[in-house]
């Protein structure tokens, strides 16, 4: 995980400097390292089902990265690849109860946020003559919203089965340095929300208007999202 974060930081720097050559190397390298980390977690006892679907999600994400880095517009191909990645993440989280419980307020909140974003994107698609993307984008918004919901309910399904996730160990002089712990639910939810935020920025810059700081924000939130999701599912 540490090499993945180091290479991710190099990629963030490349994006900030608009260094395409460096970005073409570092961006896919991050995902390759995360796949390696997931494989190591798997070899150390992570659930087979969670490990397989997590690795598949990372693999589809790698494919999506490659599509979106091309000079010619391959947005649709990238969208399909990341849609597949989200489906794999949902399967990795697993389901033990119906998604759309009437009394679940998170469903309502996600529907409102996702619906508002989609309607604004749809307006931009019409203005830019990209209405062919209307259905794929709608399905994508539903998929990423379901990832957030699956991440939030993940903690309910594994309560009492796993301990908290160790994210950072302080380098104190004491023999047992302080450790910051996050529950699997919170770790997963942070990752899923970061992923949704990254995707929302991509949609906004493509269909509404460009934002100067968006490229760096998109890549930082994207990489951190993947790290948190891997930690939540396999640590």
Token pair of 155, please? 């903690």
Q: Residue 111 pLDDT more than 80?
A: yes
Cα–Cα distances in Å, from 85 out to 79, 144, 189, 218?
Answer: 10, 10, 16, 17
Residue in this structure with the two tokens 């994508």, named with its chain if needed: 140
Instruction: Give the residue, 89 or 71, on which the prediction is more confident.
Output: 89
- Least confident piece of the model among 106-115, 147-156, 226-235: 147-156
Higher pLDDT, 94 or 147: 147
* pLDDT attached to residue 235: 77
Mean pLDDT of 118-122: 96
- The number of residues in the chain equals 235
CA distance 223 to 226: 5
Q: SS3 of 182, please? A: strand
Over residues 145-164, the mean pLDDT reads 70
The helix (H) or strand (E) run that includes residue 164 is: none
What pLDDT is stored for residue 101 in this prediction? 55
pLDDT of 165 above 70: no
One DSSP character per residue, 60-88 reads HHHHHHHHHHSSS--HHHHHHHHHHHHHH
Cβ-count burial 120-130 (b if 16+ within 10 Å, e if not)? ebbebbeeeeb
Average pLDDT in the chain? 87
> Is this prediction's pTM over 0.85?
yes
* 79 Cβ contact list (under 8 Å, min separation 6): 64, 133, 136, 137, 140
List the beta strands (DSSP E) in the chain.
165-169, 179-182
Is 47 a residue whose pLDDT tops 50? yes
Cα–Cα dist 106/109, whole Å:
5
- Please give the structure tokens belonging to residue 37: 């980390």
């Amino acid at each position: 995980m540490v090499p993945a974060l180091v290479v991710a930081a190099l990629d963030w720097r490349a994006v900030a400097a608009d260094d395409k050559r460096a970005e073409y190397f570092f961006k896919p390298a991050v995902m390759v390292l995360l796949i390696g980390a997931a494989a190591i977690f798997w070899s150390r006892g992570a659930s087979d089902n969670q490990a397989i679907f997590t690795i598949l999600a990372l693999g589809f994400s790698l494919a999506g990265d490659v599509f979106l880095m091309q000079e010619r517009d391959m947005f649709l191909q990238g969208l399909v690849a990341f849609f597949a990645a989200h489906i794999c993440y949902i399967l990795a989280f697993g389901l033990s109860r119906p998604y759309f419980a009437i009394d679940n307020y998170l469903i309502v909140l996600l529907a409102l946020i996702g619906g508002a974003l989609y309607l604004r994107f749809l307006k931009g698609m019409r203005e830019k003559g990209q209405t062919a993307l209307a259905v794929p984008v709608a399905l994508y918004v539903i998929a990423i919203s379901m990832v957030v919901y699956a991440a939030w309910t993940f903690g309910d399904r594994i309560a009492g089965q796993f301990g908290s996730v160790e994210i950072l160990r302080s380098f104190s002089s004491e023999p047992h340095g302080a450790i910051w712990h996050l529950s699997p639910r919170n770790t997963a939810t942070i990752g899923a929300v970061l992923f949704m935020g990254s995707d929302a920025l991509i949609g906004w810059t493509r269909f509404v208007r460009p934002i100067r700081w968006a490229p760096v924000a998109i890549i930082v939130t994207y990489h951190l999202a993947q790290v948190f999701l891997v930690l939540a599912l396999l640590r």
